[in-house]
């Protein structure tokens, strides 16, 4: 009984140290259950705390070995509170030339933190209010005109905002 008295505070201390992430402003995932339908845009809503501070924006992605591509194409739409919309088509490298996946993770699930905005110039949420971010895949087989209906191997799609450290 004496050992458990010290064990619980130790576990709480370790978890609180591990969970500290002072750069994080927003970090959320949505599950797509191993298949991401091309018509199923993943949406996030966020109200940034400061319209004068620079931020880094990321698309986060978790995938398994069932993902059979070395790249990823996304369409990301950023909707501002006052009606302005910014739509970007992005491409990311997901694997090395030898086929090993990039990203982090010890199991068969890899996690990728992919730059969206803030890496080339500071990104400011210059309008006050709620922003919405919509992310959908735009993958196609080589030589095919039609997109892939269900992108296999994707388990979760996320969006992350961090305080910028470079500006």
Is residue 77 assigned to a domain?
Answer: yes
Inside any domain, residue 140: yes
132-158 pLDDT, tens per residue?
999 999 998 877 778 889 999 999 999
**Residue 160: pLDDT band by 50, 70, 90 thresholds?**
very high
As a whole number of angstroms, the distance between CA 37 and CA 128 comes to 32
9 falls within a domain:
no
Q: Which two tokens stand for residue 93?
A: 């490298």
DSSP 33: T
The tens digit of pLDDT for each residue in 48-100 reads 888 889 999 999 999 999 999 999 999 999 999 999 999 999 999 999 999 88
Structural domain count of the chain:
1
Question: What would the pLDDT profile of 98-143 be if each residue is shown by its tens digit?
Answer: 988 898 987 789 999 999 999 888 899 999 999 999 999 999 887 7
| CATH code (residue 29) | 2.60.120
- Distance CA(8)–CA(11), nearest Å, equals 5
Of the listed ranges 4-13, 18-27, 84-93, 118-127, the one predicted with least confidence? 4-13
Residue 4 has pLDDT above 90, yes or no: no
Nearest to 130 by CA among 46, 10, 62: 46
Contacts of residue 94, defined as CB under 8 A and 6 or more positions apart, other chains included, come to: 63, 67, 69, 70, 71, 72, 101, 102, 103, 112
47 pLDDT band, cuts 50/70/90, is very high
Is residue 166 predicted with pLDDT exceeding 70?
no
Q: Hey, which residues does 140 pair with through a beta bridge?
A: 147
Per residue in 94-123, is it b (16+ CB within 10 Å) or e — as a string?
bbeeeeebebeeeeebbebebebbbeeeeb
Could you tell me if residue 8 is left (phi over 0), alpha (psi between -120 and 50 degrees) or otherwise beta?
alpha
The domain of 30 spans: 23-163
In a domain, 107, yes or no: yes
User: Is residue 15 in some structural domain?
Assistant: no
- Exposed, middle or buried, 64 (CB in 10 Å: 0-12/13-18/19+)? middle
Is 85 within a domain? yes
Decide: 33 and 109 in contact? Cβ < 8 Å: no
Q: What per-residue confidence (pLDDT) applies to 142?
A: 78
What is the model's pLDDT at position 122?
84
Polymer length in residues for the chain: 167
pLDDT band at 10 (very low <50, low <70, confident <90, very high): low
Residue 1 domain-assigned? no
pTM above 0.85, yes or no: no
In-domain check, residue 86: yes
């Amino acid at each position: 009984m004496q050992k458990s008295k010290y064990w619980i505070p130790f576990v709480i201390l370790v978890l609180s140290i591990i969970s500290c992430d002072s750069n994080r402003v927003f970090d959320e995932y949505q599950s797509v259950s191993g298949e991401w339908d091309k018509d199923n845009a993943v949406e996030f809503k966020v109200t940034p705390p400061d319209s004068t501070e620079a931020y880094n924006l990321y698309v986060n992605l978790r995938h398994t070995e069932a993902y059979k591509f070395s790249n990823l194409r996304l369409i990301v739409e950023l909707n501002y509170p006052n009606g302005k919309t910014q739509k970007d088509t992005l491409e990311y490298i997901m694997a090395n030339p030898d086929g090993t996946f990039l990203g982090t993770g010890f199991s068969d699930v890899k996690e990728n933190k992919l730059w969206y905005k803030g890496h080339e110039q500071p990104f400011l949420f210059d309008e006050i209010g709620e922003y919405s971010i919509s992310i959908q895949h735009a993958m196609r087989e080589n030589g095919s005109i039609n997109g892939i209906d269900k992108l296999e191997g994707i388990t979760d799609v996320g969006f992350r905002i961090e305080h910028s450290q470079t500006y």
